Structure 1
Amino acid sequence: MRLNKETFVAGFALFSMFFGAGNLMLPPFLGHEAGDQWNWVTFGFIISAVIIPILGIVAHAKIQGTMFDFGKKVSPVFSYIYCFAVYAISIGLPSPRTASVTHEIAIQPYLDSGYLLTSSIYFALVLLFVLNRSKILDIIGKFLTPVILLTILSIIGIGLFTGPASTVVTDLEKPFVRGLFEGYQTFDAIGAVVIGGVIIVSLKLKGASDFKVNKALIIKSGCIAGLALLLVYTGLIYNGSIYSTWMEPNSSRIEVLSSLSIFTLGHIGKMFLGLLVSLACFTTAIGIVTGTADFVKGFFGDSDKAFKATAIIGCLLGVLMGQFDVNYIINIAVPALMLIYPVTIGLIFLNLVPHKYASPPIFKGVVAIILLFSIPDFLNSVGLAGVNTPFLKYIPLSSYNLGWFLPAIVIFVLLNILLRKGNQ
């Protein structure tokens, strides 16, 4: 696989837009909870936070359209509803969360100021970058990502060579599933369908219009981003596990991350961590707001006014939601993720397989089944577990909140068989 400077710049830009607040604070916390079972939570986390998102980027390379194209085979109406839901969730939860994390780690320890001031300055800068979106790939890929990676690798490297020799024994239940669902909180599968569109539009704005060349560039850059994410997540989870003996058992996600930075880089580590968090969160917020503005621009006939208005509204919403603390935003995100994440995974898979195995009827059937079997998980997440009927216990993987998975595979296979017979 031939790699050039442009491929690495795009790959670093992808990594940076993926690597935000959740991507930084969730892995060490997982390792802290898992202890000696860190390898199992890593496996689950990698599936939902690396493999599925990068497959989403590969699907984008195949389509080279907008996020609307991901679901249009179900129906245009469904695709618009799905797009609006994803973008509403993205600018309403993970984007503001980046400002909250930045405040709690980079600002609060040093300045006696409130969330409002931080989020106002933060999203003013985000807006500045978004309105200059043609330069996003170069600015992020060439300048911001190397600083982020250098700081993370310093924490991981020092931790590996100076940390405790053993991990604590824990009784964490279902470690693989715990890692899988913690990976949901990174929003990376959703991020893939949003950010992938940003990369494609940015390439076109730079004059790159050759379909095959863009496809190769996007896939290669996606692999680079995926490899970087894999190494960083594994390192952070392992460091969280070995340093768990030095931390309080009930430490929060941010407390674990702060402690890890101090253990590895000393008290100056807090300053490095603040810089790292600010850059990682900032690049993710840029990707989310730009992707949302791109979609609305296309919806209104390629209107630049719609792009600017959406960017401004997205940043204002970020300021408003950024007033809440990180744990609150994480908790209110769970119900939305229980519905939108399975559908997103299904759409990524369907857009990856050859067209003959993923015709519009198959899209409709698989997505309908995923939605149907995701409802119990959604109800559980909002405290309505009592409405579940007894038959749910007979659905494979339902106890792991994955009751939709096998029914989706079964309907995919059955519909393909039936359609093949019908065409004979």
Structure 2
Amino acid sequence: MKQLKDITVIGVALFAMFFGAGNLIFPPQLGVMSGASWMEAIMGFFTTDVSLSILAIVAVAKSGGSFYSFSSKVSPRFSIVMGIILMLILGPLLALPRTGAVSFEMGIIPLFPSIPQYVFTLVYFGMALLFVINPKGIIDKVAVYLTPLLLLALVSIIVKNMLMPDADFPLTKISNVYAYAFLEGYQTVDALGAVIFSGIILMGLKEKGYTDTSSQVKMMIKSGLVAFSIIGFVYGGLIYLGASGASSIPAGMSRTESFMALVERVFGQYGVWMVAVTVIFACFTTTVGLTTAVAEYFSELTNNKLTYRFNVITITLLSYLLANLGVEQIVLFSGPILGIVYPAILVLVILNLFDKYIHFKGIYSGVVGGTLCFSILMFICESFDSLLVVKDWLLSFPMTTFEMGWLIPAITGGLIASIIYKIKATRTI
């Protein structure tokens, strides 16, 4: 009974921390674009977003439960460098400031346009600091105090929309719904969040008395399945929300504008309030989870020379300052770096899942190295028009239309590493 309760509490808390504003606005727009083919859209979106996220949690759990154990098979130095880059992106340089900026732009401006952004973000990050300043019991804090409000808002939107009569499902606006949804799910980069939040699950499990590796792995996987079962229901409901209201959404609307219009269609004059509550709580739970994860990482990395308390204060302050730049500036600043890091994390997920079949750990270096070479070269080509020929060559790689052009370089890197291993093994005989 205790185990079931712990799985539920941790799974629900993980859902709340994972489900941010980005998760909120992608599915409805996908529903708008897919129209009558909304079931196909759900399948395509689940194939990449939900499936990859669950696999990421399983991979981290199997590797030992921490980012270091997950990535150090490439090399300890790589693990540190990649960990720092990833934590800065998902922390004070991109994800955290964006939560504050999105909360302001979607939750506050429509209701209270006279409130200055720096005042709201000061209150927002100040409240977050109160939640995370003491890491003990953070899982329970999120599960008990924050998740019910977020879930109530989401379920209210989804259920009320389902009960509306005469839903109008227009024809799809895209040629291949499954492929489009597959790509949308990939571009949410939710697997990164799954990798990071696995550390919080481990911390919560230790607090609840699960100290041996075997029980931690099982509990992490079960908690992850609970979290993504809830997320799957919410994603399906939000895609249906977009599909059933697609005929009322003018062409050219952004994801944010579409979501606000769809909720207003369901709740009328109270729609703005529903959007505000949903967005702010979705962002706030993510802020709490990310701040905790990033602070814990840097504390462990420095053997507590940078204390957890010092880290959360520094992270919160930086996030507050950058949040006032606005959403577009934040994305422009750190988005390209994310495009380099994300494919490397995905191949690490795959490698860790099949680790017991990998007898030569140098394959990790080869596969990740090939992936990074492709991603970095693509980034350089997109930055300089003079490299258009090279860019066209890279775009000719298989799976590039699915943002997975790195697949062939990754396999090539792994094969080269295997050949080197066999040559070395032959020489030692």
Same fold (TM over 0.5): yes
Q: Which residue number in structure 1 is paired with residue 275 of structure 2?
A: 273
- Counterpart of 1:77? 77
TM superposition shift of 1:245? 0.7
C-alpha separation between the residues in 1 aligned to 2:384 and 2:244? 35
Aligned counterpart, 1:344: 345
Cα distance in structure 2, aligned partners of 1:413 and 1:361: 10
Contact 2:167 2:245 (8 Å CA) reproduced: no
CA distance in 1 between partners of 2:203 and 2:2 (Å): 23
CA deviations over 1:304-363 (Å, ceiling 9, x no partner): x53222211211121122123334444555422321111111111111213332642110
Letter in 2 for 1:46: F
Equivalent residue letter for 2:319 = G
Question: Residues of 1 paired with 2:395 and 2:128: CA distance?
Answer: 46
Which residue pairs with 2:264 in the alignment? 262
d(CA) in 2 for partners of 1:326, 1:117: 16
Q: CA deviation at 1:164?
A: 4.9
1-side partners of 2:384 and 2:235: how far apart?
Answer: 31
Kept in 2, the 8 Å contact 1:102–1:277? The answer is: yes
Could you tell me whether the CA contact under 8 Å between 1:58 and 1:352 is conserved in 2?
A: yes
Question: How far 1:232 sits from its partner (Å)?
Answer: 1.0
- Alpha-carbon distance in structure 2 between the residues aligned to 1:74 and 1:255: 43
Q: 1:35 to 1:312 in 2, by over 3 A?
A: same
Q: Does 1:220 align with 2:222?
A: yes
Does the CA-based 8 Å contact 1:15-1:229 persist in structure 2?
Answer: yes
Residue 134 of structure 1 aligns to a residue in which SS?
A: coil
Distance 1:248 1:382, change over 3 A: farther
Alpha-carbon distance in 2 for matches of 1:382, 1:185: 20
Q: Which amino acid letter does the alignment assign opposite residue 162 of structure 2?
A: L
TM-score (normalised: structure 1): 0.90
The equivalent residue for 1:149 is 151
Shift of 1:79: 1.0
Tell me which residue corresponds to 1:137: 139
CA displacement 1:134-181 (0-9 Å, x = unmatched): 121111123322222222122112212316534233443664454344
Q: Which runs of 5+ in 2 are unaligned?
A: none
Match of 1:324, SS state, is coil
Query: CA 1:395/1:244 → structure 2, altered by over 3 Å: closer, same or farther?
Result: same
Please tell me the residue identity of whatever aligns with 2:296: D
CA contact (8 A) 1:133 1:202 kept: no
Distance 1:195 1:258 in 2: 28
Residue 301 (structure 1) aligns with: 303
How far apart are residue 211 of structure 1 and its match? 1.9
Q: Is it true that 1:159 corresponds to 2:153 in the alignment?
A: no
The alpha carbon displacement at 1:65 in A equals 3.9
What secondary structure sits across from 2:325 in the alignment? coil
Is the deviation greater in 140-149 or in 1-10? Answer: 1-10
Structure-to-structure mapping, 1:42-53, within 5 angstroms? 42-53=42-53
> Number of residues paired by the alignment?
423
Question: Quick check: 1:395–1:403 contact (8 Å CA) kept in 2?
Answer: yes
Partner residue, 1:59: 59
Letter aligned with residue 130 of structure 1: V
Change (3 A) 1:118 1:358: farther
The whole-number CA distance in structure 1 between the counterparts of 2:165 and 2:76 is: 53
Same amino acid, percent of matched pairs: 34
Is 1:25 aligned to residue 25 of structure 2? yes
Secondary structure at 1:168 match in 2: coil
What CA deviation, in whole Å up to 9, does each residue of 1:274-333 have, x standing for no partner? 222221111111111111111110111134x53222211211121122123334444555
Secondary structure of residue in 1 paired with 2:137 = helix
- How far, CA to CA, are the matches of 1:162 and 1:215 in structure 2? 43
8 A Cα contact 1:48 1:183, kept in partner? yes
Secondary structure, counterpart of 1:214 in structure 2? helix
SS at match of 1:268: helix
Shift of 1:43: 3.6
After the TM superposition, which residues 176-195 of structure 1 pair with which residues of structure 2 at under 5 Å, given as runs? 176-184=178-186, 186-195=188-197
Amino acid at match of 1:131: I
Q: Assess if the C-alpha contact under 8 Å between 2:33 and 2:173 holds in 1.
A: no
Q: Distance in 1 between matches of 2:200 and 2:76?
A: 21
The amino acid across from 1:232 in the alignment is V
Q: What letter matches 1:100 in structure 2?
A: A
RMSD: 2.8
Deviates more, 1:134-143 or 1:260-269: 260-269
Cα deviations by residue, 1:223-263 (Å, 9 ceiling, x for unpaired): 01111111111221121122121122122222211122222
Tell me the equivalent position of 1:116: 118
Per-residue deviation, 1:393: 5.2
Query: Are residue 169 (structure 1) and residue 147 (structure 2) matched?
Result: no
Contact 1:134 1:206 in 2 (8 A): no
Q: Which amino acid aligns with 2:55?
A: L
Secondary structure of the residue that 1:167 maps to in structure 2? coil
Q: Deviations over 1:166-211 (max 9, x none)?
A: 4233443664454344335544211112111122123224443122
327-336 or 240-249, which deviates more: 327-336
Aligned equivalents of 1:152 and 1:417: distance in 2?
52
Paired residue for 1:355?
356
In structure 1, list runs of 5 or more residues that go unmatched: none
CA distance in 2, matches of 1:41, 1:330: 26
Task: Output the amino acid matched with 2:58.
Answer: V
Take 1:381 and 1:22, find their aligned partners in 2: how far apart are those partners? 24
What amino acid maps onto 1:153 in structure 2? Answer: V
CA distance in 2, matches of 1:242, 1:416: 51
